[in-house]
Structure 1
Amino acid sequence: MADEIVVGVDGSAAALDAVRWAAEAVRRKVALRLVHATDITSGLDGGLPMPQSFFDELDRAGQEFLADAVRLTGEVPVSTETPFAPAVALLLERSRTARMLALGSSGRSGLTGMLAGSTAVSVAAHASCPVAVVRGRPATGGPVVVGVDGSPTSEEALSVAFDEAAWRAVPLIAVHAWSDAKVALPAPDPGWAEVERDQLRLLAERLAGRRERYPDVRVERVVVRDRPRDELLARSRDAQLVVVGSRGRGGFRGLLLGSTSQALIHQAECPVLVVRPR
């Protein structure tokens, strides 16, 4: 695995936000690579051959997008590439060796009114490495928040969240939400206090080994009787990063992105890091 963060650049404001976020992240001594993919199939009409000037113009535009992005990275060493390839396919290929991908929440080709672009959703669903979807306010201050539900992807997300909190020197809030109910939940019954104690104990057990490896990370354990998506979206208002597994215990088997991760990609108020098992 190459120790680099790969950022997708398409000339949009959202992509430039992702470049700024990644340029800050690479101060952890990893490399930064900016990629612009030019999908030539979108410009072909009926399979007719296109003049070389058409390809030259596409390449020139891509180089300009990357030049604008490089100017935002300051003194961070950066490499660039502008291949002729579909964006999703290229990013998924780079995800096989990257430490992380970073994408803007929407791109130049997105439809007006969409909360997140199709590229961000597709890449988060299929990538081989964690995918940061950079959205909301600038990621400064606040804790790292991670959703924990005991699923394999949740365990992967927990490991990544500890690493992020340690590098950023901020607290980690580990959230376990008790219900995936689609309707409003009734007020807690008298037995809720006992359930909460049991869930807090189980959450502490999941955190124990990682806390030994990250002794400087201050951890807050939170158990709530709420839907995971609602609790994590609420906490994104004050967090600098929310980390979540691509798919948890709930939902239909075979889905690559669960409802919680999809909700965060579309609506979170800070950057979201979606973690899939490699």
Structure 2
Amino acid sequence: MNSANGAAVVVGVDGSEPALRAVRLAAVEAYRRNRPLRVVHGFIWPLLRVPLETPAGGPPGAGLRQQAEQLVAAAVTEAEATAPGLRVTGGIIDGEAAAVLLGESPTAVMIVLGDRGLGGFTSLVVGSVAVQVATYADCPVLVARGADRTDGPVVVGVDGSEVSRLAVEFAVAEASLRDAELMALHTYRYPVSGGPGDMLPLVYDEEQLRHEERRVLAESLAGIAERWPDVPLRRETIRGRPARLLTEASRRAQLMVVGGQGRGEFTGLLLGSVSQSVLHHADCPVAVVRAPR
């Protein structure tokens, strides 16, 4: 995460209602952090070589660039109304939406975007732009979806991987900013193989397995309570499918935090299957945290 002075929370807008919801969420996040908010619109039309200005005889403001300026101005106004006093700027950048947001990510504190946009197919629960940005961004990505809650815990999925430790660090900072409880949820199904090609044991001690999985959670949370004494910490180790259990936990959470790729994921998956499932089905905003490249 970029923590340099002046680094902004960036929100992508396209004029849709999900994007305006993302603007409101981003404004609150920026205000909490005492950071500026940068509203960005990816303006794809120059790449398609179509006329951008108002056509001859057309009404004022009918050109594509003028319409883009209007939607960015409306988003800036929405952000200022949501968090009075927040420093908000807007920009139009030529390019496809996901590419533009990814270009902003190396210097952003966080990227916020809606779960769907104007170009999303109705059958998609989460739009392709949200998935692409969550997969490749160089900073945490917050997707506005599900219910907006100001109570309930911040839930973080923990699996013992390095990226889940980064997710824990992000989640506890969020819980502190929100004066919320941190719920660290570790799920498991079977014993973990010792290495590539190892076969899972056919017989194992269930109590020993539970003990081992609790140890994984404890190690992932080592030092958190001491470094963040203001944050109530709840640990839960549950046997079951991680995506389903995290989705269930999201129904009472105000924020869900997941690592981009966890233990047991195929190395070719830049965004793990569990993270993708949670991103598609959670009932609260979802933050995706990835390891630095």
TM-score by length of 2: 0.85
Supply the AA of the counterpart residue of 1:8: G
| Structure 1 residue 210 displacement after superposition | 2.1
Supply the AA of the counterpart residue of 1:255: L
Match of 1:66 in 2: 72
- Whole-Å Cα distance in 2 between the matches of residues 22 and 85 of structure 1? 22
Match of 2:11 in 1: 7
The one of 237, 242, 248 equivalent to 2:251 is 237
Alpha-carbon contact 1:166-1:217 (below 8 Å) kept: yes
Alpha-carbon contact 1:38-1:58 (below 8 Å) kept: no
Match of 2:35 in 1: 30
Alpha-carbon contact 1:148-1:175 (below 8 Å) kept: yes
Alpha-carbon contact 1:33-1:79 (below 8 Å) kept: yes
Gaps of 5+ in 1: 182-188
- Whole-Å Cα distance in 2 between the matches of residues 152 and 5 of structure 1? 25
Match of 1:158 in 2: 168
Match of 1:186 in 2: none
Match of 2:139 in 1: 129
Aligned residues: 267
Match of 1:195 in 2: 209
Q: Percent identity?
A: 43
Encode CA deviations 1:43-73: one digit per residue, 9 max, x unaligned. Answer: 44xxxx7475479822211111112212222
Alpha-carbon contact 2:143-2:286 (below 8 Å) kept: yes
Supply the AA of the counterpart residue of 1:201: R
Q: How does 1:1-278 map to 2 (within 5 A)?
A: 1=2, 2=4, 3-27=7-31, 28-40=33-45, 43-44=48-49, 50=51, 52-53=53-54, 57-73=63-79, 74=81, 75=84, 76-179=86-189, 191-278=205-292
Residues 1:59 and 1:152: Cα distance change in structure 2 (over 3 Å): same
Alpha-carbon contact 1:9-1:36 (below 8 Å) kept: yes
Supply the AA of the counterpart residue of 2:74: D
Supply the AA of the counterpart residue of 1:59: R
| Structure 1 residue 222 displacement after superposition | 0.6
- Whole-Å Cα distance in 2 between the matches of residues 50 and 11 of structure 1? 20
- Whole-Å Cα distance in 2 between the matches of residues 258 and 223 of structure 1? 20
TM-score by length of 1: 0.90
| Structure 1 residue 208 displacement after superposition | 2.2
- Whole-Å Cα distance in 1 between the matches of residues 27 and 45 of structure 2? 29
Supply the AA of the counterpart residue of 1:11: G
- Whole-Å Cα distance in 1 between the matches of residues 274 and 146 of structure 2? 17
| Structure 1 residue 14 displacement after superposition | 0.5
Encode CA deviations 1:4-30: one digit per residue, 9 max, x unaligned. Answer: 210000001101111111111112211
Alpha-carbon contact 1:180-1:250 (below 8 Å) kept: no
- Whole-Å Cα distance in 1 between the matches of residues 63 and 290 of structure 2? 37
| Structure 1 residue 42 displacement after superposition | 6.5
Alpha-carbon contact 2:144-2:286 (below 8 Å) kept: yes
- Whole-Å Cα distance in 2 between the matches of residues 118 and 12 of structure 1? 15
- Whole-Å Cα distance in 1 between the matches of residues 20 and 239 of structure 2? 38
Alpha-carbon contact 1:132-1:274 (below 8 Å) kept: yes
Residues 1:231 and 1:213: Cα distance change in structure 2 (over 3 Å): same
| Structure 1 residue 243 displacement after superposition | 0.3
Bigger drift between 70-79 and 228-237 goes to 70-79
Residues 1:66 and 1:139: Cα distance change in structure 2 (over 3 Å): farther
